[in-house]
Amino acid sequence: MKCRLIARLATALLALALAPQVFALSAGVTGRPVADTNSRLAKLEQQTAEAKSSADNAWMLTSTALVLMMTGPGLALFYSGLVRKKNVLGTMMQSFALMAVITVLWGLFSYSLSFGSGNSFIGGLHNIFLQDVGASPDADYAPTIPAQTFMVYQLMFAIITPALIAGAFAERMKFSAMLLFTVLWSIVVYDPMAHMVWGKGGLLNASLGGRFPTLDFAGGTVVHITSGVSALVCALYLGKRVGYPHEQMPPHSVVLSFVGACLLWVGWFGFNAGSALAAGSLATSAFVATHFAAAAAALGWAGAEWLRNGKPSVLGGISGAVAGLVAITPASGFVKPMPALLIGLTAGVFCYWMVSKVKSTFGYDDSLDAFGVHGAGGTLGALLTGVFAVSAVNPIFKDAQGNILPSGLLEGNAHQLINQLLGVAIAWLLGVVGTLAILKLVDATIGLRVTEEEEVQGLDLSQHGEEGYYWEASA
């Protein structure tokens, strides 16, 4: 017993003797263990944040390039292949010109009107000339990437949206009129709609406390409904092309359109998955939904055409893919893969019906079916978003305590479908009224339409003094 007590006492004395050495080893020679540990942890956290920011920024810059590719060469090729060969350059130039014109407007004031702090309907001028839009993130929009990256990414949406409208007035609007119309349309229609849906304090903004939160992940209302409805107004206002519908006006090169459609499909991943504004799981979900919807819509359109005409056309297949991409755009960040398939399939069949039946019934000359695909497909997609959106994909709605709330109709949020209807109605109203007013103004000042002689000659020569194809006579 005494030996055990002596052993325990010796152990305790040894521990007391070694304590300073152990403490020194753990603390280091500085004698400030807590400060050193905190410093290292802070440095590690900073490095982790910088790594995440770099990854997110790299993805967003890649997405920005993909969305620009959708306009040129994607849309330029897709549209130019659908017109007659005498209008191929004129059609391409419309897309290309907007890449330059809208960029300048965006930098001067349109970004501020769309995303600057303002009221429920339009942004202010706090960011005019891109003031305060630099390397520091805007936490309200994208906390891990520079505000300038967010700005230039959103610019690509502003470029392609008015370019889509050109499909309705193809082969008959003056180039000068197209430029003036587009400048005014971007200010009057696009900027307010972008602010209402995506901007700080916007009436329809679902992530920043809008009064009527509308789910639009990547632009169903902002891009496709506004452009598609405006396209219909343009087609009705300008009237039919010379010879339509009695003369055959087939696409001069489905090959060009095929390449353009494939580029659009690839670029759309930047359009939809990039709208996650970070390289995370939400981007993956949007990427998958986008691809599944496009595939299902291509099959839906081609299948409906096959049943009706006995053959599935190449043009039908690529048109269906675009219709699916349009319809999934608002839903891409809110739905799972199987609902995305259903949305795409429905869009393919529905848009085919709009193009093959509704257009012929009413007789309007929507040259390249901008309304039938973008207006109709965008409307369908926006409404179905309110049906299939789930919080498991994107928990966008939360209560005051931070608890996740249902997103769509099938999850128990029936009111969301009402919000979607309101967002669609506002997009339609703004597109119709704004476009009609601008058309009347441009028509009264410089005129909208080329002369009959210039239209017969073709836009390539009459508007640009060039030809897209020069065929040398054989010797």
Residue type, 360: S
pLDDT of residue 14: 47
Residues of the chain with pLDDT under 70: 1-34, 472-475
pLDDT (tens digit, 9 = 90+) per residue, 132-163? 999 999 999 999 999 999 999 999 999 999 99
For CA atoms 82, 83, 84, 90, the dihedral sign is: negative
Q: Which of 219, 283, 212, 352 is nearest to 55 (CA)?
A: 283
Enumerate domains of the chain plus CATH numbers.
Answer: 66-464 (1.10.3430.10)
pLDDT of residue 25: 45
pLDDT of residue 32: 56
**Cα(34)–Cα(422) distance, rounded to whole angstroms?**
56
Coil, helix or strand at residue 443:
helix
Bond from prior residue into 406 cis (ω within 30 degrees of 0):
no
Q: Which of 380, 326, 322 is nearest to 350 (CA)?
A: 380
What's the helix, strand, coil split of the chain in %, to 5? 70, 0, 30
| Residue 243 · residue 249 · CB < 8 Å | yes
**Cα(225)–Cα(15) distance, rounded to whole angstroms?**
77
Tokens of 227: 């452009």
What backbone torsions phi and psi does residue 378 show, to the nearest 5 degrees?
A: -65, -40
Q: What is the pTM of this model?
A: 0.90
Contacts of 111 (CB under 8 A, 6+ apart): 127, 130, 133, 151, 154, 155
The residues pairing with 173 across neighbouring beta strands, listed in sequence order, are 449
**Cα(31)–Cα(320) distance, rounded to whole angstroms?**
70
| Residue 71 · residue 99 · CB < 8 Å | yes
pLDDT of residue 83: 97
5 alpha-carbon distance from chain centroid: 79
Neighbours of 422 (CB within 10 A): 16
The residues pairing with 118 across neighbouring beta strands, listed in sequence order, are 123
pLDDT of residue 472: 64
**Cα(221)–Cα(115) distance, rounded to whole angstroms?**
16
DSSP H helical segments within 28-120, as ranges? 33-69, 76-82, 88-105, 111-115
List the beta strands (DSSP E) in 254-375. Answer: none
pLDDT of residue 29: 46
